[in-house]
A and B are shown apart, each in its own frame.
Chain A
Amino acid sequence: MSLQETWAALEASPVGDFVASSAWAFPLVESLHVISIVTVLGTVAIMDLRLLGLTSGGWAVTQVSRDTLRWTWLGFACAVVTGSTLFVSKAHIYAIEPYFLWKLALMGVAALNMLYLHTHAWKRVGEWDTSRQIPNAVKIAGLVSLTCWVIIIFCGRFIGFTLGHYE
């Protein structure tokens, strides 16, 4: 099955067809997507700003992580489900939309960044957990994460303005 055939099959699927033809499904799922992504960005930012030593200075890094991490993942899971639902309604257009592809690429960068942080500096979190003096590698990871997610939000919003160019 070629990519083109895959996109066509997704659009012809019950979900793809329903979201594309219903008057209210796309706006509603899009709204749920916005609720999900502001939860992701907001909670990620709380964590990243702590890693940068800018906020929550009196709280341990692991404490801030316990406050936010499960809500970040819950928001992310909802964003993936709602985002995929929007995708299948117009799969062949999203698949070539530059802002959509940038958004996916930056999510890949954010994932690698998170993986790097957790397999390296996070192993010795006990040494800087309660400190405002954060190792530079951790600060850079926080900055990369925050930058990626902010640009992802911009890309997501710009998709809505450029999608029509590819129809």
Chain B
Amino acid sequence: MTWLPNILYAFALWLKSTHLTELAVWISNQPWSQAILQNELITPTIQSIHILAIAATFSAALMMQLRVAGLAGQGRSMGDIAKRYMPWFWWGLLTLLITGLLLIVAEPARELLHPAFWIKMVLIVCMMGTVSWFQKSVRNDPEFWADGSASRGALKTGALALLLVWAVIMICGRWIAYGV
């Protein structure tokens, strides 16, 4: 398993060699960046709101994935479940974007030069694509998501596999606080 730290270390060195370093230095020299660091309570407060938003977005996704896997939400159509949770997923994600940007502004080098940050970003974009597809598909093709449909087995496996992606996203998020 030594290849994993090696690749991550190489990734970190490469990030440092890009213009991201200059961008991070520029951001951290701005008064609006320094303003966030003025008071030591601001960063933990933003991080706490970030975690509350993860709870909203993740639990909304969890309930939809468990419905697809047949482990929660039985007795209601996929459309009903999506209608209940989809707004919470997207509003939570918007809150995550705003608080995440504030955390980058406060400590740009810590985020922008960390491999875990970029792994997390790529996985979040993949997750947004998957959820958008689900949202459209449930609306346009309810039979595909009906309980007796031929695609159930693969969809169940996919929904549970997606939980692992969530786990990696959150592990990467916490990992940003530590070195490579």
* Residues of A near any B CB (own CB < 8 A): 27-28, 30-32, 34-35, 37-39, 41-43, 45-46, 55-56, 58-59, 63, 66-68, 71, 150, 153-154, 157-158, 160-161
Having A38-B58, A153-B52, A161-B43, one finds 16 other A-B pairs with CB under 8 Å, namely A27-B174, A27-B178, A34-B173, A35-B167, A41-B59, A42-B59, A46-B63, A56-B84, A59-B84, A153-B48, A153-B51, A153-B55, A154-B45, A154-B48, A157-B44, A157-B51
CB neighbours of B178 from chain A (8 A)? 27
Interface residues of B in 32-55 (CB under 8 A from A): 40, 43-45, 47-48, 51-52, 54-55
CB neighbours of A161 from chain B (8 A)? 40, 43-44
At the interface, is chain A mostly helix, strand, loop or mixed?
helix
CB neighbours of A35 from chain B (8 A)? 166-167, 170-171
CB neighbours of B52 from chain A (8 A)? 41, 150, 153
Nearest neighbor of B169 in chain A, beta-carbon distance: A35
Q: Is B93 close to A, CB under 8 A? A: no
CB neighbours of A55 from chain B (8 A)? 84
Q: Which size bracket describes the interface of B in this complex?
A: 20 to 34
Nearest-Cβ distance from residue B117 to partner chain A, whole angstroms? 14
Q: Is the CB of B51 within 8 A of A38?
A: yes
CB neighbours of A46 from chain B (8 A)? 59, 63
CB neighbours of B106 from chain A (8 A)? none
At the interface, is chain B mostly helix, strand, loop or mixed?
helix
**A27 touches which one: B62, B73, B80, B177 (CB < 8 A)?**
B177
Q: Is the CB of B170 within 8 A of A34?
A: yes
Nearest neighbor of A59 in chain B, beta-carbon distance: B76
Q: Is B72 close to A, CB under 8 A? A: yes
Q: Is the CB of B59 within 8 A of A157?
A: no
Given A28-B171, A157-B48, decide whether A67 and B55 contact each other with a Cβ distance below 8 A: no
Q: Identify 29 residue pairs between A and B in the complex whose beta-carbon atoms are under 8 Å apart, listed by A's number.
A: A27-B175, A27-B177, A30-B174, A31-B173, A31-B174, A34-B54, A35-B166, A35-B167, A35-B171, A37-B51, A38-B55, A38-B59, A39-B55, A39-B58, A41-B59, A42-B59, A42-B60, A42-B62, A43-B63, A45-B59, A46-B59, A67-B63, A67-B73, A71-B66, A71-B72, A154-B44, A157-B51, A158-B48, A160-B177
Residue among A38, A46, A153, A161 with the highest chain B CB neighbour number at 10 A = A38
Nearest-Cβ distance from residue A49 to partner chain B, whole angstroms? 9
Nearest-Cβ distance from residue B90 to partner chain A, whole angstroms? 15
Could you tell me the distance between the alpha carbons of A126 and B48 in the complex, rounded to whole angstroms? 37
Q: Is B75 close to A, CB under 8 A? A: yes
Q: Is the CB of A68 within 8 A of B72?
A: yes
**A38 touches which one: B76, B84, B170 (CB < 8 A)?**
B170
Q: Is the CB of B171 within 8 A of A31?
A: yes
